[in-house]
Amino acid sequence: MSKSTGWPELHFTQMQDTIETLHQWIQIVGKIRLKAMPWQNHSWHVTLYVTTNGFSTHTIPYQGRAFQIDFDFKKHKLYLRCSDTAYSEMALRERTVADFYRELFEKLSAIGVDISIHGAPNEMDPAIPFARNTVNSAYDPDQVHALWQAMLRVHEVFSQFRSGYIGKVSPVHLFWGAFDLAVTRFSGDPAPLHQGGMPNMPLDVMQEAYSHEVSSAGFWPGSRDFPTPVFYAYAYPAGPGFEREPVQPAEAFYSPELGEFLLKYEDVRSAPDPGKTLMDFLQTTYLAAAKTGGWDRGKLEKHP
């Protein structure tokens, strides 16, 4: 961790195996929330949240009761709490996805929560069913702790950015499909029908998520195909010339392949003021979306 900024170093090559396992685990927990929660627009009912200890489903209503599942990256435990029973826990350690899946549903059943989920991951290819996944089993506590610490700092900046908008704006939440922490602003106007394209993701889910114009930003720890933790920002639909708009900081760039502006996490972490550097990226990419999309900023932004 940088002593000057408090933003931890993240090296995907060191984290890769652990991230690939953790990603499967949060998909399982996220799918439990998806199955139990009342539907909410843009799939906001499926997300997880960054907490003082790790990640959480927050409160899930269930048959007149409520339960919650928490990843604790201080103690490296998964806690299952229900409003009318004693809590249960399981260790976060090196273990296969299949083993994690089996024990989690056994413990849920023991506290009276009986839920079935679609038993294979989304937005992944190949999508090995959880119960048969003995491939992913790595868990490095130090790497998980560093990733959570990074997300805490990102969450703070995203929350500050979110506060400057009086139009419709999402919570700062963790989407388990792609494993990204995101915040999204809406113009209020309908968007063209989305054409989909994500692996193992139903088209109607994508089309509902992008039913209205958005300017979205997020943090993503990277993947085998893109081994770099990055911040991203995109517009849907992107207005003419969106990719040519000036954005800050100077290290930010537009990726034609992804259709997004990108800024490497390391460029933020190593900046003299990481929070300001990230806020500059969020604000200028939003301005690019609003300008080229013709958004009515006077009705959408808070002016002190």
**Digit-coded pLDDT (tens) for 22-62:** 999 999 999 999 999 999 999 999 999 999 999 999 999 99
The tokens describing 138, both together, are: 């790595």
**Digit-coded pLDDT (tens) for 208-258:** 888 999 999 999 999 999 999 999 999 999 999 999 999 999 999 999 999
What pLDDT shows up at residue 195?
A: 87
The domain limits of the chain are 12-132, 141-300
Please name the residue that has the structure tokens 């969450």: 155
**Digit-coded pLDDT (tens) for 73-121:** 999 999 999 999 878 999 999 999 999 999 999 999 999 999 999 999 9
Which of the four pLDDT bands, split at 50, 70 and 90, describes residue 269? very high
Confidence check: pLDDT of 4 > 60: no
**Digit-coded pLDDT (tens) for 163-194:** 989 999 999 999 999 999 999 999 999 999 99
What pLDDT shows up at residue 2?
A: 45
Percent of the chain with pLDDT over 70: 98
SS (H, E, C) the chain: CCCCCCCCCCCHHHHHHHHHHHHHHHHHHHHHHHHHCCCCHHHHHHCEEECCCEEECCCEEECCEEEEEEEECCCCEEEEEECCEEEEEEECCCCCHHHHHHHHHHHHHHCCCCCCCCCCCCCCCCCCCHHHCCCCCCCCHHHHHHHHHHHHHHHHHHHHHHCCECCCECCCEEECCCCEEEEEEEEEEECCCCCCCCCCCCHHHHHHHCCEEEEEEEEECCCCCCCCCEEEEEEECCCCCHHHCCCCCCCCEEECCCCEEEEEHHHHHCCCCHHHHHHHHHHHHHHHHHHHHCCCHHHHECCC
Q: How far apart are CA 227 and CA 212, in angstroms?
A: 31
